[in-house]
Structure 1
Amino acid sequence: MPALTGWRQRAAAYLPDIPHTRPHEWLRASIGASLAFLLSAITCGLLFGSSVALHFAGPWAASAFLLFAVSSGALAQPWSVIGSYLCASLVALLLGFWLPAGVVSAALALGLSLLLMYPLRCLHPPGGALAFCMVFAAPLPGEPAWMAPLPAICGGLVLVLLAVLFNNLTRMPYPRQRTIQKDDHHTRDPAPGERVGIQAEDLDQALDELGAFVDITRDDLERLVRSTERHALRRSMGDTRARQMMSRDLVCAAPETPVRDALRLLVKHHLKALPILDEERRLVGIVSLVDLLAPRRKGGRFKRLLGSLGLRRDRVLGQVMSSPVLHVEADAHAVELIPLLSDRGLHCLPVLEGGELVGVITQTDLIAALHRDLLAHLG
């Protein structure tokens, strides 16, 4: 029986994994790859001749495949494409000075190009095919040898440009942007949600232990792990929604409410923020105690000091409120509220249903809900 199980495991390694893409993404990628390859070949054909364009058609087609089918992968980023093309061209040109064009020189060009791409962080498989093609790409009569790579590199640039345009127009962000965490507290501490659980150092160590190239950017890997954590937490918390946690008896104000009256409301009801509604009861803004005591406006240090001392209480809330307001829907899951009320540093979140303000969730409400969930698991 153990032998049979081991055989099944080995056999399963040859079977494809379940795809996590949708048919509309397949269609999007196929249309983009076809158009990009066609336009790249036409452009280079007009500039350098159709025979030259056909000579490099193979690497271009493979690059187009990666740029549109797996545009989020590390192998498909702009530097990977252009850098690999440059490496392949440089290696092929240098070998051409000492070795005649043939299978041996092509194999050397392939291996040396790969060796150069690793430290330069531009690994791109079609670059290996380009190295092979470049060995047999003789310059035109009367042209210097360094002119031979121009058509290939030109085609690569066209492919990257079209990938940037097409992918972003079809709502596929390209190239992948590095994630920069917003520092709302202006301290060196990581965001509250990143102080426990998996951290950036853990990902780096795991990648080092793997010891092999992984075709996924580190930022995408971190997003994937944290998204998995959120889904697991959401499953464990059941169906706790915003409507179950929110406060319903609300204290609100209008844009015409004087700052001095808003201060009295905050102190009387022990609130940290005050929703602002217009005449039609629509949420148009929100003010906190900080907004009221130190209105955000341009001016010198003396003017800001006067505001912090509360000497501008003659102003109205419409002049100091924050707008638009970050809010959640009544059906939002509790897990969606955690990063908003912790990492973003918000003290409360307005809750809307059908565009109407129906409640407010504070950090205290969220803590109470998490406490109830913890007691349920311990019980």
Structure 2
Amino acid sequence: MSPLSRFTLFRPILPGSTLGQRLRACLGATIGIGLTGLACALLAGQGPHGLWLVPPMGASAVLLFVVPTSPMSQPWPVIGGNAVSALVGFAVAQVVGEPALAAGLAVGLAIAAMSLLRCLHPPGGAAALVGLFAAPSATLWFPLAPVGVNALLMVAAAVAYHRLNGTAYPHRAIAATPPQAAPPESRPSFSAQDVDAALDELGQSFDISRDDLERLLRAIEKRALARAYQDLACRDLMTKDVISVGEDASRQVVAALLASHDFRSLPVIDREHRIAGVIGQRELAGTGTYARDLMTAAATTTPDAPALGLIEQFARGRVHAVYVLDAERRLLGVVTEADWLAVLTRGLEMPAGATPDAPRHTASTISR
């Protein structure tokens, strides 16, 4: 925590921000506004000492350099929101003579136009007033130049600044992993539909995109789950009574064991009781007579390894069982998807702050 952030007055309002980020945002806004003003003045033929900059750019700078991930800070909202709103204000000035009524209509209609065109941008409200007040002395090109040109240059400055700063802009939300992409025991406890339903229930707008919100919630849930299970080791989950076959076991023996116990796979053990591989229905489809000819590499771990780390192995592919080995690669036990599902189910049902218990192991649960 930064020194200033310990004081309430200096604590950033937006979550995830730091003092260093705010200072860099100040520098970015300084450079962005300065370069935009200078470029616009030169384009207008006013020379380097002229200023051809509209006030809403100051508000746009706050969004562009402080909260670049906001949906209202993206290029189209910045450019479209400012230009469209200035055009609305300019148009209102042509038909409404009462200043107070015209100001209200300009801002209200600008919000409606930005919403319809998917370019909602808070400084657009100010841009509408700028277009309204500039109308008596400006031409129809005013919403495009200087307002549109200002916004375009501000976006270009923001893109350059964030690239130099190592920040991704324009921001593209990374979609959260859908629940069906992971095995049942590692699936999040909420769905994308739950996020939408919760937003509808709250009935409020938040300055974060829908995808970013779901991604944040899933990251929080993952950390909460890791904290709940961080002390659980593989030895706490493993089944010790593991049915295995030797390297010389025939295809027929392996097939009979798999069928009789309804297992997905069996470990193949050498004469020193070290694991040599794994064999299941998929391997039986290959060519070969004995287990040593058919087996594939087994997913393995150690007794002291965190049990939570096994979820990644289950999620990576067609791994249904991870075998626990000692330092000599001798088979001690197995942890299956069924074991993790049993623990996770108990964990979701227990009170907050409680520690999940390991399941009671029986031979009927191994390698299923």
Match of 1:233 among 216, 225, 228: 225
| Residue of structure 2 equivalent to 1:209 | 201
| Residue of structure 1 equivalent to 2:25 | 29
Alignment identity in percent?
A: 35
Correspondence 1:160 to 2:155: yes
Q: Residues 32 and 347 (structure 1 numbering): CA distance in 2 closer, same or farther, change over 3 Å?
A: farther
Q: Which runs of 5+ in 1 are unaligned?
A: 1-14, 247-266, 273-287, 293-307, 311-327, 351-357
Alignment of 1:126-141 (within 5 A): 126-138=123-135
Measure how far apart 1:148 and its partner are: 4.7
Measure how far apart 1:171 and its partner are: 2.5
Q: Read off the aligned partner of 2:218 and give its amino acid letter.
A: R
Measure how far apart 1:36 and its partner are: 1.1
Measure how far apart 1:33 and its partner are: 1.6
CA distance in 2, matches of 1:18, 1:87: 28
What RMSD, in angstroms, separates the aligned Cα atoms of the two structures?
4.9
Pick which of 340-349 and 20-29 moved more: 340-349
Measure how far apart 1:84 and its partner are: 0.9
| Residue of structure 2 equivalent to 1:347 | 319
Measure how far apart 1:118 and its partner are: 2.3
TM-score (norm 1): 0.59
Say whether the 8 Å CA contact 2:33–2:58 is kept in structure 1.
yes
Which of structures 1 and 2 has the bigger CA Rg?
Answer: 2
CA distance in 1, matches of 2:98, 2:315: 59
CA distance in 2, matches of 1:92, 1:336: 58
Q: Residues 147 and 26 (structure 1 numbering): CA distance in 2 closer, same or farther, change over 3 Å?
A: closer
Measure how far apart 1:41 and its partner are: 1.2
Measure how far apart 1:366 and its partner are: 7.1
Q: Residues 49 and 65 (structure 1 numbering): CA distance in 2 closer, same or farther, change over 3 Å?
A: farther
CA distance in 1, matches of 2:63, 2:198: 26
Match of 2:146 among 148, 151, 156: 151
| Residue of structure 2 equivalent to 1:377 | 356
Match of 2:210 among 191, 215, 218: 218
Measure how far apart 1:137 and its partner are: 2.4
CA distance in 2, matches of 1:271, 1:195: 27
Q: Read off the aligned partner of 1:153 and give its amino acid letter.
A: G
Q: Read off the aligned partner of 2:319 and give its amino acid letter.
A: H
CA distance in 2, matches of 1:230, 1:82: 37
Q: Read off the aligned partner of 2:42 and give its amino acid letter.
A: L
Q: Read off the aligned partner of 2:41 and give its amino acid letter.
A: G
CA distance in 2, matches of 1:189, 1:344: 13
Q: Read off the aligned partner of 2:214 and give its amino acid letter.
A: E
Measure how far apart 1:82 and its partner are: 1.9
Match of 2:104 among 90, 104, 107: 107
Provide, for residues 86-144 of structure 1, a one-character-per-residue CA deviation record: whole Å limited to 9, x for no partner.
32022123223223594542332111101222233322111111111112224878xx5
TM-score (norm 2): 0.61
Measure how far apart 1:172 and its partner are: 2.1
Measure how far apart 1:65 and its partner are: 0.7
Measure how far apart 1:146 and its partner are: 2.8
Correspondence 1:91 to 2:91: no
Q: Residues 372 and 109 (structure 1 numbering): CA distance in 2 closer, same or farther, change over 3 Å?
A: closer
Q: Residues 22 and 117 (structure 1 numbering): CA distance in 2 closer, same or farther, change over 3 Å?
A: same
Match of 2:34 among 20, 38, 56: 38
Aligned to 1:146, the other structure's residue is in SS state coil
